[in-house]
Chains A and B, each alone.
Chain A
Amino acid sequence: MSSEPAIRVERLSKKFARSLKKAMAYGLVDIARVAFLPRRARSPQFAARVADAASAPAPAADVAEGLRPSEFWAVRDVSFEVRSGECLGLIGANGAGKSTIFKIMSGIYGPTSGRVEIRGRLSALIEVGAGFHPMLSGRENIYISGAVLGMTTAQIEKKYEQIVDFSGVRDFIDMPVKFYSSGMHVRLGFAVLAYLEPEVLLIDEILAVGDMEFQKKCIDRINEMRQSRMAIALVSHSLYRIESLCHRAVWLDHGKVVLSGPARDVVRAYRDRQILLSADEARAKQGGGAAAVAESPFFTVHRADPLHEDGRADARFAFGETLAIRLAFTAKQRIERPLFNLAFVAAGVRVLETSMLVDGQAPECVEGPGELVVRLPAPRLLPNAYTVELFIRNREGMVDLIDTQTVTHFTITSDGLEAIPQAGPYALGHLMHGNIVHQPYEWDLSRIRQPEEAR
């Protein structure tokens, strides 16, 4: 058994042009350069200098990096390895370079610089159903797709029945694919690829299509292939899937590696960043710097600040860390027993409230400036971006003195999340993605009678 990794990507970079006309011109120049110039003159830096001299000057940094005007790096200096039997996940926002890396790994694009080594037969599930000829039948297309992927007719014939069974389109196999539904198209496409049994497999977000039953079939098949010592790299926006299927993960942003390591760590850091970004976004939408966060004929609420236990006003909290919200307000008139109500909202769901309408506490009387703090000792809120909404009612709870207003935001990060046992396959998926509140719990398994053979 070779100890070399099945996939090795070394300092891989790839650039594209933003404008179509420029892309066309650069394409022609590149062709001429590659075909007619001696080797040393073929460097990107050389091309950038030439293009720079010929048109509007690009920033000097771009020229030094080998970028011509309107070009950008889609992938920059990316390195990783995948050994056989291992699964690597690529995560990142749209346009982070994940698909481009896959296309380079499968030989569709050439790298601008760097190197990719693939040991063994590779097949890539990038947009399945591509290359089906609409006028030909499913059967004919199976043979063509097989041939495209380097199979011989005999090999395809051996697999033909399995492919048709898996796809579930047997009744339509002699119909032109032109008349297939998009679902059938995808099923047939995946079926062909799933039965190739390559040594290296690239899967690009294709599982987002198809019905649940078919998705399950696909996941099962991928798991099967994973166990047969195949090296797998997969792109998915589903952090659940990355966490459960992958050993390691690479987080990409604008073509660069932000973090790579064990899948859990990367998914966790990525999710933290997502939470912080969505909090920033919410804050920006609310518009910072306003004189007051809420205003009515009765009250002006000047500020609402999340506070740490030591009194620091900072909107980032670790999981389980005691937090407080401080309201600075002015009562515009004398008001008796105003009832303050703060709601904590995550992902559009009202998670909990600190409410005087419930507990019945209230300041006897307010007039002029005042300050109020509510403390949540060791909250069970899971990592997420939280919004705090305020309303104030009169003493009977009937009249709004201030309508519901978003007054502040805070985030709970994954720091301290280790306090929760996480040995399950979807721990992070649930704790950082699905659930909002965590309540400690205990299972009692002693009442389950074990079957004989398991004893």
Chain B
Amino acid sequence: MSAPLLTVYESSNTDRLSISAWREMLAEFWSYRELTWRLMSRNFAAQFRQSFLGYLWVILPPVATTIVFALLRQAQIVNVPMAEGAMPYVLFALMGTTVWGFFTQVTITTTHSVAGAGNLVSRIYFPREVLAVSSALNAVINLCIRLVVLALTFALARYVPHWQVVFAPLLLVPLMALAMGLGLLFAPVNTMMDDMGRMLDFAFQFGLFLAPTVYPTPRLADITGKWELALFWIHSLNPVSHFLHAMQSLVETGTFDVTRGLVVSTILSFLALAAGWRFFHICEPLLAERL
């Protein structure tokens, strides 16, 4: 007879950086993959069960934002100049808001995942990462639905992107890593104080305007005023901008420029994921009692 499984609970004394801790974390998460999957399908199935429009709510936010901005631009209330050879504005804005919406949703749902599952967390033990990952995966499904809408809009506009666009989704991987990393960092704090979640909701509303989502980043060569320059720097400091730039250039020119910004952003994103996950894991024993 094999020795029975031994579980030990002690006061937290985890090593932060040891390799074996990482291995344990991954192994534990892997053994609960079934639950992750179940919770994800649960969230997805339950999401719109009591709503009339159902999954239309998934596609509505980016579409509505795009329509409003296209309208404002058409009416010349806002002036968004598009460069020579750029894609039509509607496509640009829909792509921007879709990607930004994905980033937002992953970060926010991950942040809220633990606090929102209070009655589960305070009664049953399972690795809490499961909650974070399943809600992040939910955002991925929503993204897929939105990408279909985006593709249909491209078709409707009869705009054919360069074939290299098939590589664009790869850029969503570091983007998601960044979002999850942030979410995992914020989630434990969010179980203690609600301010965290509220602050995020607030920040992301403004964040939309500080990345090339509904208007392109001003080109350094064209910049005249110091305010335009400031905006340029804000965009450059926002890692999401670099992923968006890369996607936009894949669509418009089929080229992939490995810029310094992109490399730094990618490295930063994966570091954020690693730090976020480790932090989350260390905080795990403290989560239930604060809910």
Contact = CB atoms under 8 A, between A and B. Distances in A.
A370 B87 CA distance: 112
Interface string A428-446: 0000000000000000000
Given A130-B123, A153-B34, A34 B46 contact: no
Contact of B9 (A31, A35, A115): A115
B150 interface: no
Nearest to B12: A34
A239 to B, nearest CB: 26
A2 B4 contact: yes
Contacts of B120: 130-131, 148
B282 A34 contact: yes
B38 A34 contact: no
- B: interface residue count bin: 35 or more
Interface stretch (A139-147, A305-313, A372-380, A393-401): A139-147
Interface stretch (B164-172, B186-194, B201-209): B186-194
A272 interface: no
The range of chain A's interface size is 35 or more
B193 A117 contact: no
Interface in A303-334: none
Nearest to B36: A147
Given A16-B289, A35-B283, A108 B7 contact: no
B1 A1 contact: yes
Nearest to B279: A35
B46 A111 contact: no
B16 interface: yes
A104 interface: yes
B79 to A, nearest CB: 45
A95 to B, nearest CB: 15
A120 B49 CA distance: 39
B6 A133 contact: no
A39 interface: yes
Most buried by B among A107, A116, A143, A176: A107
Nearest to B48: A135
B11 A110 contact: yes
Contacts of B193: 24, 28
A116 B8 contact: yes
A148 B35 contact: yes
A112 B125 contact: no
A259 interface: no
B254 to A, nearest CB: 44
B272 to A, nearest CB: 15
Interface of B: 1, 3-14, 16, 31-32, 34-35, 37-39, 42, 45-46, 49-50, 119-126, 188-189, 191-193, 279, 282-286, 288-290
Interface of A: 1-2, 6, 16, 23-24, 27-28, 30-31, 34-35, 39, 42, 103-122, 124, 126-127, 130-131, 133, 135-136, 140, 143-144, 147-153, 176, 199
18 contacts: A23-B290, A24-B192, A27-B290, A31-B189, A34-B282, A108-B125, A111-B9, A116-B9, A119-B4, A119-B7, A126-B123, A126-B124, A130-B119, A131-B119, A135-B46, A135-B50, A136-B42, A147-B38
